[in-house]
Amino acid sequence: MTSIHTPDPTKTANLVDPSVLARIGNLEMRAKLVVEGFIQGLHRAPNLGASTDFAEHRPYMPGDDLRRMDWRLYARTDRYYVKEFEADTNTNLLVVLDVSPSMRFGTKLRYASTLAACLAYFSSLQRDRVGLATFANGIVDYVPPSAKHLQLVLHSLDQAERKAGGAYPSHSLGMTGRADPSRSLGMTSLRTIFQRLADTVRRRSMVAIISDLYEEPDDIVDAVNELRGRGNDMMVLHVLDPAELEFPFEESANFEDLETGVRMPIVPDYLRDEYRALVARHVETLGRRLGGQNVDYSLFDTSQPMDKALFRYLGARRKLDRARKVG
């Protein structure tokens, strides 16, 4: 398990307000604004020693340095393998971003894509290999982890934002449009999507899943375990709009499920307390169940300043990492 170094909070200045980030069209600029205030790394600094001791072979992946190809092994096996050395302590970071229709409510997708860009930019500065997978009702886009793929990852995130277009209106909601916010959609399951994605993760990696998690907790845990079972260091970042957490609506209206298009007449005053309890139970269950699997789970409210939210998350992740090592 990797450890994380975060800065002294007393030295963290100019926390970036989401409304400020929302006005910045350039995704890379947004990521830099957030990250450069607390660059310390997602894990221990790479070993920069001169060791060239051979460690192992691994299957070739697009973007790997061809100079590391073992051509003798290829001659024997007719398969491409890359040599790994003891000094190669850099890791892979694969960001898995939900781009399904429900993510278009409010500023969720923009917040989530900025969060994804921050993690990729942050990790790239540590000389890690970064990659991206976006998914909706299946895998939409995939960029394999590589030390040279940061710009490709940022471009893909920018395209995901542009394809999604504008946010949905206030009564066209994801979680708030459902009687039960943890209800499964009945489309391609998250587990099926992650099973397919797990086949592309051929070496131990950090995997950061960013989603509003509109599935039953059991289904979410099973899906995450498809990737965790490969020995990966798992992070689940749960992104929700304040309206999805508090249900602040006053007037009766037809609310639309963004994933299915189903409309439901709702009187907010009658359902608000029940709805808040459902959401709180969903979040608590996910935190408990995923934490029990040694998965780092955190809820991100899109009204929170991005760098403050990341600082809080990375600090909690560092503490969990230390506790696991002691245990």
User: In the chain, what are the domain boundaries?
Assistant: 9-46+90-326, 51-88
Q: How many CB atoms lie within 10 A of CB 248?
A: 11
Q: What percentage of the chain exceeds 90 in pLDDT?
A: 37
325 pLDDT band (50/70/90 cuts)?
A: low
User: What order do you get walking across the sheet with 172-173 strand by strand?
Assistant: 172-173, 253-257, 263-266
The architecture that CATH gives domain 9-46+90-326 is 3-Layer(aba) Sandwich (3.40)
The residue ranking higher by pLDDT, 112 or 22, is: 112
Alpha carbon distance 130, 205 (integer Å) = 10
Above 80 in pLDDT, residue 102?
Answer: yes
Task: Please provide the distance, in angstroms rounded to a whole number, between the alpha carbons at the two ends of the chain.
Answer: 12
- Structure pTM? 0.75
Report how far Cα 305 is from the mean position of its chain's Cα atoms: 17
Give per-residue pLDDT as tens, 262-306: 888 888 888 899 999 999 999 999 999 999 998 999 999 999 888
Alpha carbon distance 263, 254 (integer Å) = 6
Mean local confidence (pLDDT), 238-255: 89
Mean local confidence (pLDDT), 98-126: 90
323 pLDDT band (50/70/90 cuts)?
A: low
Alpha carbon distance 45, 34 (integer Å) = 20
Average pLDDT score, the chain: 79
Residue 270 neighbours by CB under 8 Å, 6+ apart:
none
